[in-house]
Amino acid sequence: MAEDVTQPKLSPDEELAASITEAIGAANLVNVQKLPRIREGLVRGNLTSGEWKLLAELGPAVAAKEGASGL
């Protein structure tokens, strides 16, 4: 007989947050180290306008910046 092996389904917020975070990461708009916080903020709805602004101000990681040698 069937065993109860159901994996907990992701909520729509969680599913969407994952895909948004992936898209933001691919677009190289913010520091990759901040992606987990973005995901959490999307899931919980607690990302403030100040945080978004700071993320945008900081931009992507230094190594990924235009003109940076990456060395």
Nearer to another protein, 45 or 67 (CB): 45
Amino acid symbol at 50: G
Q: How far is the CB of 18 from another protein (least distance, A)?
A: 10
Q: Which long-range contacts (CB under 8 A, 24 or more apart) does 25-30 make?
A: 28/60, 28/64, 29/56, 29/59, 29/60, 30/55, 30/56, 30/58, 30/59, 30/60
Q: Which of 31, 35, 47, 61 binds another protein (CB under 8 A)?
A: 47
Q: How far is the CB of 33 from another protein (least distance, A)?
A: 16
**Contacting residues toward another protein, per CB under 8 A:** 1-4, 6-7, 9, 12-13, 15-17, 19-20, 23-24, 27, 29-30, 41-53, 55-57, 59
